[in-house]
Each structure stands twice: as C-alpha cells, then as structure tokens.
Amino acid sequence: MRKRWFAMCLAGMMTVMTALTGCGTDGGKEESDSAQQSSAETGQSSEESQEDVSDTDAGEEPFEMVMSYIHPGTIPKDLQMVEDALNEITIPEINVKVTLYPISIGEHQSKYNMMISSGEKLDLICVLFDGGPGIYVNKGQLLELDELFEKYGADVEAAEGVAMAGGYFNGKLYAIPDEEFMGRRYGFVGRQDILDKYEFDEYEDATYEDLDAFFARVKAGEGEDFYIFNNVGGVSTIGNFMLTDKLGASTASGVLMNGGRDDTQITNLYATEEYKEHLKWMRKWYEAGYFPKDCITMTDSQVDLMRSGHYLGCFNSVSPIMDSLCTQDYGYLMKSIYITDIYAATELYQISQWGLPITCENPEKTMEFVNLMFKDVNVANLLRYGIEDVHWVKTDKEGIITFPEGLDANTCGYVNTLGLYGDKSRIYQWEPAEPEIFEDLREYNAQILNSADKQSKALGYCFNTEPVQAEYAAVSTVVGQYVPALETGSVNPDVVLPEFLEALEAAGIQECIAENQKQLNQWLEAR
C-alpha cells in the first residue's frame, strides 16, 4: 500500500507540473490539457467517464447531495440564488442536485458530529483547520476514498498532485485536499507605504536583526498608538522564523526540525535553543510596544485591525499571491517579507479538505461532484464569488474581477471569503491583483515540485494520536496555556519557559514523542 501511495504521489507531481505549465493567465477560462492527459494516463479520460455517467443517468432523477457550506460570518443573502445557478451546471453535467447547507466556521466539528451521529442527511463535508482527516477517521465518521478517487478523481489529481499526501491516514485516502500552494514560506506581510517610508529593503531571508532595526524606526516615526503586529488572540509566531514538520498532528507530539528535510528524529520543539532564542526576541518586541499589550485576549479580526490604520501587518505565510490576497482584505497595498525558505510537509495539505461522511448516500455521485469542482472552473468561481454580473464583473485584465458598480463587500449579496473550491491556479482573482498572479503561482509551486530536497522526508506520514490520546490531550492543553503568552512576549521567558517545559513533561510529551517516533519508523520501513 505504501509503495502504491508513493507511486501515486509521483504520478500526481507529474500531472500537477503539466497542469501548471499548461494553463495560461486566463484565470481558468479554458480546461487544462493536462487534466485530460492525466486522465488518459490513469486509463480513463474525464470525457469517457462522463459518457458512462450520462448513459447511466439517462432518465434518472438527480441525486440530491447535501454539501456543507462553511461561512465565516453571516450567511450570504443570495445563497439560494447561487445554489440554483450551481445546479444549472451540475444537473445536466453529472445529474447531481446540490443543496448548500450553511455551517458557521466555528461550529463545523460539533455540527458534523451531531448530524453524523443522528444519521441526518449529509454527503460532503469540509475538513477545515482540523489537522487532516484523522480526528474524523478515529471516530468512524469518514469513508475510505481510494477506489472512488481512482475512478472519479482524475481532475483532482491533475490539480493537487503532491498535495494529495495530506489526505491519507493510516495508509488510506480519506480526504481530498483543496490546496493552492504546493509549499509554504513564512514571514511578515506589511503595508507597502510604511515599508517604503522607512526604507526597508531586506525582503529576502530577513533576520531578527533586520526586522528589529526596521520595527524600531517605524515605531519611533508612527507613534505609540501604532503597532507592528495585528496577530492577536494568542497566535503562535515561531513558525514564521523556523520551519518544522508537525507530522500531520501538532507540536504536542514533537516535530521534525528544519521542515523534516534533514532527518527523521522527532524533537520537543519547546526544549530547543532555537525556541529559547525566539522567545527572547518576542519579549523584546512586546516590551517595545510592537504588540498591543492585551494581544492574547483581543478578539478583533485582523481585517478590522488593519483597516483601522494602526497596524503595520502580520506574521503569515508569504508569497506574491499572499500579497494580493492581503491587499484585497486589508485595504492597503501589502508586501511580503520572506524569513524562511520554502518547504512541503503533510500538515500544509491538511488545511482545507473535502471528505465523504458515512452518511453519504451516493459516494460515487458525490466524488463526481468533487472532481467537477476541479474540472469546471465555472463551478469553482460560482461557489467562491457568486454569479457574474450580479455579484462580480470582469475587468479588462484577464482573469481579474471586481464588484459591480455600486456594490462592495458589505453590500454584495454573496461574499465568500473562504476560497475552498477547486483548482486555485485557474479561478479568478479579485482586483487589484494583476494577471501575473497566475504565473507567479505556477513559479512558486514549481519550486516544490522540482526540488525533492525542499520536501519533508516524512511527506505523507500522519501521526495517529489514538494510542496516546490522554497524554496528547493533556500536552495540547499545556501548549494552549503557555504558548500564546510566550510567543507574543507577554511574559518573561526566563521565568515562564522552565515552568512550561516542566508542565509538558508532567503531561506526557515524551510518551507522545515516543509513540510518534515508533509510528514514523514503521511508516518509513513500509515505504
């Protein structure tokens, strides 16, 4: 099974390379030739598959598929309108009638648990910020997808390729990643006007020292009520300065240092000298007023804070595409400062995924729909942006859209800030993005696809926490108690870090690391 998985992964990497080089900067107006090629390589083309489907479905009532629709705020008032437009595509194409079931982003896990346990109709769920499918698999809530994916997933594989590594758990495919970036770099995204005003020029491989000198100039020039970081609510900052592979779980079960690219020895991140050094810088920056004093308890959104005009930017994943996305959200032209280099690890492909719960009444049709999201860019654009000339209009720039005259994000009847749908290299982008964004994305992803040395040696491995469930939960609780304050500099690390390390040991971090190492070694041997 493991050998078969890696063969699939290599094939997926090749199909993604083909897909990325074959699609132009048209924002996805044309279907990718690479998807068709990939389908042919798997022995069944999308066209052949569709012919079979059409013959089979002739005269049959459409399958009514309930799809979880995750929204971060208010349910869009035009959701039904979008659903109707979606079904104008899906019913004739695959004989599936979609019902979008709105669920708040903060309630999706509890809602899924309730619906699945009660047997309520639910056919497609979004595994979002859940650390991959494991949490659902261990509760027996997801269907295995290997055979379905092989039969119906050609266009998904063409788009996602190596990212499919994030969908596996215990050697089986349980989720379909919906990933834009094949790798990640981390750093800081800041306002371009402030960066220029204070003459920042260390955009590549920026160090603590580079940032420290610049932040001091900004703070002195902009005043006491101007802050550097809009990261609030106790966000972790270590990942923006040091790459780790969390092995499909979390830091509670140890990490591979340097993104897993050097060796496969699992380490307690919090006991390293690198972590201790990081905390010293965060403490210095907190005392200098770069973080709001109450940053760990603030609940304001990053968007609202940035639009207030009192913040420079945020720690984030960084890329030219992220510049565009942050510019759209924050209302300022934003620019990435690169601190880490680029890498790939399993956890990066577990941020947003699609899974079929055990309540799915027709897995074949549901998987056909998932594939259609990647195959037909109109489906992805519809779910992401709504209806053309109603919720968005084309600009004179290829692949770039904007709101219709008189509308904005506050007045438009359909705004979905979660880009969870389909092939991100082909869907439209909001103004002020430029058409070059599509080429930027291809070049960015090629850095991972062309360089095995940038990929973790454990890519595709996902730790099953079940054997140490109690210890893992206890360690996770300790991490949640200490990390927010430590990594925003809100407490003195000389005093609090030793307490933190002692609490981790008492909670059982060594037991978690030992079990994780055992599973990883077995996975490596079986590979």
User: What is each CA distance from 503 to 9, 312, 354, in whole angstroms?
Assistant: 40, 35, 36
Instruction: Find out whether 34 and 382 touch, Cβ atoms under 8 Å.
Output: no
Summarize the confidence of residues 279-296 as an average pLDDT.
95
pLDDT score for 289: 96
pLDDT above 90: residue 94: yes
229 in Cβ contact with 489 (< 8 Å): no
User: Between 328 and 150, whose confidence is greater?
Assistant: 150
Give the span between the Cα atoms of 361 and 63, in whole angstroms.
9
- Of the candidates 406, 361, 369, 404, the residue with the CA atom closest to the CA atom of residue 386: 404
How sure is the predictor about 58, in pLDDT bands with cuts at 50, 70 and 90?
low
- Whether the per-residue pLDDT at 430 is higher than 90: the answer is no
Mean pLDDT is lowest, of 91-95, 231-235, 299-303, for 231-235
- Looking at the DSSP bridge assignments, the partners of residue 476 are none
Confidence of residue 126 (pLDDT cuts 50, 70, 90): very high
CA distances from 43 to 48, 208, 252 (A): 10, 52, 43
Average pLDDT over residues 388-414: 95
pTM of the model: 0.77
pLDDT of residue 74: 87
Superfamily of domain 2-182+348-433: Periplasmic binding protein-like II (3.40.190.10)
Tens of pLDDT, residues 181-233: 888 899 999 999 999 999 999 999 999 999 999 999 999 999 999 999 988 77
Per-residue pLDDT, averaged over 96-100, amounts to: 98
- Residue 137: CB atoms within 10 Å: 21
- Which of 56-65, 148-157, 495-504 is least confident? 56-65
- Is residue 328 over pLDDT 80? no
Mean pLDDT across 365-391:
97
Nearest to 333 by CA among 410, 432, 409: 432
Give the chain's end-to-end CA distance (angstroms, integer): 8
Report the pLDDT value the prediction gives residue 77, as an integer from 0 to 100. 96
Average pLDDT over residues 372-377: 97
Higher-pLDDT residue of 350, 322: 350
Asked if pLDDT for residue 323 goes beyond 50, the answer is yes
Q: Average pLDDT, stretch 54-74?
A: 83
Q: What is the mean pLDDT of the chain?
A: 87
In DSSP notation, 28-80 reads S-S--HHHHHHHHHTT--HHHHHHHHHHHHTTPPPEEEEEEEEESSSPPTTHH
- 494, pLDDT greater than 90: yes
Count CB atoms within 10 A of the CB of residue 45. Answer: 17
Q: Copy the structure tokens of residue 295.
A: 């940053």
Average pLDDT over residues 44-65: 62
Predicted confidence band at 50 (pLDDT cuts at 50, 70, 90)? very low
Report the C-alpha gap between 31 and 374 in whole angstroms. 10
Residue 112 is encoded by which pair of tokens?
A: 């899924």
Query: Cβ neighbours of residue 311 under 8 Å, at least 6 residues apart?
Result: 226, 227, 228, 229, 230, 305
